[in-house]
Copies of this chain bind each other. A is one copy, B any other.
Amino acid sequence: MTQTTTLTTTPDAALTQMRAAPPLVHCITNYVAMNIAANVLLAAGASPAMLHTPEESRDFAAIAGALTINFGTLSPNWVAGMHAAIDGATGAGRPWVFDPVAHYASPWRGGIARDLLARNPTILRGNASEIMALAGFETASRGPDAADSVAAAEDAARSLATAQSCIVAVTGAVDFVTDGTRAVRVHGGDPMMARITAMGCSLTTLTGAYAATLPDPFDATVAALAHFAAAGNVAAGAPGPASFQTLFVDALYTATPDSLAAIPVTAA
């Protein structure tokens, strides 16, 4: 048995449930990630919907199964749409996932990250540098690529999870997930994933798909990370990042409960 007993719903069972009733996932994500994130959701078994403008994001968030917000290519109009969508999701009791891409890239972006965090995301997902900086730690990173190890971000993740009462996932070579009390590491994937843009953004939307499916967002986060890790294991060995991406998305589609059950999820 490679998976911790901390989980109520294991990744294999989560995959089966998600595909049995494909969740409609409302994604507000950046221009870079739009296409690959939608393809990741469709390959995995979910149904993506990308719409962002405040004229409709509140209404739609209330009927979707979950909302995911990634603010990579941010502008003021999009912030208004994010606020409306969060109101819609929260009012309807839907979970929402926040991905604060490179929030330290500018003072303006940092302020918006803090404001969105204060709106109580169900799940917060970032790379080590993003999570560390959000918890007030120093980071050497200035752009979307991480400059810190996941291990170095574990304390930051625990403190953020406790302070915000949310799930925090730090993704990288070995992923770390915590709700402040429980904590696990998810093992798998491949270093080539850091050479493909919007992989983290896509993982955020897949986390939304599982959050729409399972009652416990901790289990949902682990299931999404296990699904990604299983696909990354299949694609490992590709000669370059573009062929890796093709194999990876195909492997999200061909993933089985058995392949997710084989991903080590260890207590941390």
Which chain A residues have a beta carbon within 8 Å of chain B's beta carbons? Answer: 24, 30-36, 38-39, 42-43, 47-53, 55-56, 59-60, 63-64, 72-77, 102, 105-109, 142-145, 194-198, 238-243, 245-254
A50–B31 CB distance below 8 A? yes
A197–B42 CB distance below 8 A? yes
Taking CB atoms, residues of chain B closer than 8 Å to A31 are 31, 34, 50
Taking CB atoms, residues of chain B closer than 8 Å to A36 are 35
Taking CB atoms, residues of chain B closer than 8 Å to A254 are 239-240
A39/B250 contact (C-beta < 8 A), A49-B105, A50-B30, A105-B56 known: no
B105–A241 CB distance below 8 A? no
Closest partner residue, chain B, to A73 (CB atom): B50
13 A–B contacts, CB within 8 A, in A order:
A31-B50, A32-B34, A38-B197, A39-B197, A39-B242, A39-B245, A49-B144, A51-B74, A53-B74, A56-B106, A59-B106, A240-B253, A241-B249
CB A212 to nearest CB in B, in angstroms, measures: 12
Taking CB atoms, residues of chain B closer than 8 Å to A39 are 196-197, 241-242, 245
A142–B63 CB distance below 8 A? yes
Closest partner residue, chain B, to A249 (CB atom): B242
**Could you tell me the distance between the alpha carbons of A262 and B31 in the complex, rounded to whole angstroms?**
36
Taking CB atoms, residues of chain B closer than 8 Å to A60 are 105-106
A245/B242 contact (C-beta < 8 A), A24-B142, A32-B38, A38-B198 known: yes
CB-CB nearest 10 A-B residue pairs: A240-B250, A56-B106, A242-B249, A38-B197, A49-B143, A53-B75, A240-B253, A242-B246, A55-B108, A59-B106
B105–A143 CB distance below 8 A? no
Closest partner residue, chain B, to A147 (CB atom): B47
CB A1 to nearest CB in B, in angstroms, measures: 29
**Which of A38, A252, A254 counts the most chain B CB atoms within 10 A?**
A38
**Could you tell me the distance between the alpha carbons of A207 and B38 in the complex, rounded to whole angstroms?**
23
B195–A47 CB distance below 8 A? no
**Could you tell me the distance between the alpha carbons of A76 and B54 in the complex, rounded to whole angstroms?**
10
**Could you tell me the distance between the alpha carbons of A24 and B205 in the complex, rounded to whole angstroms?**
26
Taking CB atoms, residues of chain B closer than 8 Å to A109 are 51, 56
CB A29 to nearest CB in B, in angstroms, measures: 9
In the complex, besides A32-B35, A240-B249, 11 extra interface pairs with C-beta distance below 8 angstroms are A39-B197, A48-B144, A49-B143, A49-B144, A51-B74, A51-B105, A56-B74, A56-B105, A75-B77, A242-B245, A242-B247
